Amino acid sequence: EIMINRINSDLANGFGNLVSRTVAMADKYFGGTLPENRLEGDFDQSLKDCLLSVREKVDKCIDETRLKNALEEIFVAVDRANKYIDETEPWVLGKDESKYDRLATVLFNLLESIRIISTLLSAFMPTTMPEVWEQIGANADICTYENAGKFGVLPANVTVHKGRILFPRIDMDKEIGELNAIIEKNMAEAKAKLNADEAAETFTPAPLAEQVTIDDFAKVELRVAEVKACEKVKKSKKLLCLQLDDGFGGRQVVSGIAQWYKPEDLIGKKVIIVANLKPVTLCGVESNGMICAADAPDGSARVVFPDQTLPNGSKVR
């Protein structure tokens, strides 16, 4: 919540608003290109003094590894520039064409302020600041760290370009809600893993069945098959109906794994099937084979997935 408030305050309401207002006024009153005539006035020097002192303050903070303080110094300059707008009232100047020289001076000073601020911020936000430069008619060649200590670098007849809102306000309730949902999901997954680990520690394998001969085992055909389609069996909560490519023209198998797998979890996966079981009908649906699965410690069944590069129809030995 503190971080969102800071973003909304410093970036959206502060710097983002400074950029959008300045560019919008330059576009509204001068069609985007400032005239070269200038008329200095009150508050100009105070603004310049503030902006020209920022780089040195930021340098000192960075040298002392005080990045938070460096950002605070930059946003002091943002506040000063926004105050300059209130002091000079460019919207009032724009109503009188005889004051357009003064208006052009105010807007140029604001664009220069944005150039200096965005140059210093580029160390922290290297992706977004070039978009700011494009909107104020600047580029990376102009917005160098050396030029951040100078005022009056932009061309006198600079042309601005209106662009997207760079720092939209964040809906706090929505963001916190989404964050809480992520936290709850992660906690549920962690709890499930913990329960599975605990179950694994106490897991007792089922007793072995009666011994069979190698000849008995050889009668069972285990094959690799790919799930091409899968859907729930309408009359059952436990059964899935799978359409398989078994390498022999395809087959349909019904499996009691619907409690643990959604159809989309299986489509495209290769499984191991008992391929030579006699057909049976389950809930009115014919099944030609059986999907191999293992008992998990939590009582669920887990499908045994073979190497997914094996060809369909490969014999499992």
280 lies in some domain = yes
pLDDT at 1: 46
Beta-carbon contacts of 187 under 8 Å, excluding residues fewer than 6 positions away, are: none
**Residues 68-125 pLDDT 10s:** 899 889 989 999 999 999 999 999 999 999 999 999 999 999 999 999 999 998 988 8
DSSP annotation string for 252-300: EEEES-TTT--HHHHTT-EEEEETTPPPEEETTEEE-SEE-EEE-TTS-
**Residues 154-202 pLDDT 10s:** 999 999 999 888 776 655 566 566 667 788 888 888 887 777 666 666 7
Same domain (yes/no): 277, 219: yes
pLDDT at 277: 93
What is the share, in percent, of the chain residues with pLDDT greater than 90? 69
190 lies in some domain = no
Query: In angstroms, rounded to a whole number, what is the distance separating the alpha carbons of residues 240 and 8?
Result: 50
Q: Classify 305 as helix, strand or coil.
A: coil
Same domain (yes/no): 137, 218: no
Tokens 């922290």 sit on residue? 124
Average pLDDT score, the chain: 89
Burial of 123 (0-12, 13-18, 19+ CB in 10 A): middle
**Interior/surface letters 219-254, b for 16+ CB within 10 angstroms, e for the rest:** eeebbbbbbeebeebeebeebbbbbbbbbeeebebb
* Residues of the domain holding 83: 2-172
pLDDT at 212: 86
**Residues 224-264 pLDDT 10s:** 999 999 999 998 999 999 999 999 999 999 999 999 999 99
pLDDT at 158: 96
pLDDT at 168: 66
204 lies in some domain = no
Query: In angstroms, rounded to a whole number, what is the distance separating the alpha carbons of residues 56 and 60?
Result: 6
Beta-carbon contacts of 51 under 8 Å, excluding residues fewer than 6 positions away, are: 77, 80, 81, 112, 113, 116, 117, 151
Residues written for the chain: 317
pLDDT at 174: 64
pLDDT at 198: 67
More confident residue, 177 or 306: 306
181 lies in some domain = no
Number of Cβ within 10 Å of residue 284's Cβ equals 10
Number of domains in the chain: 2
- DSSP H or E stretch at residue 240: strand 240-245
Same domain (yes/no): 15, 164: yes
CATH number for 10: 1.10.730.10
179 lies in some domain = no
Same domain (yes/no): 311, 166: no
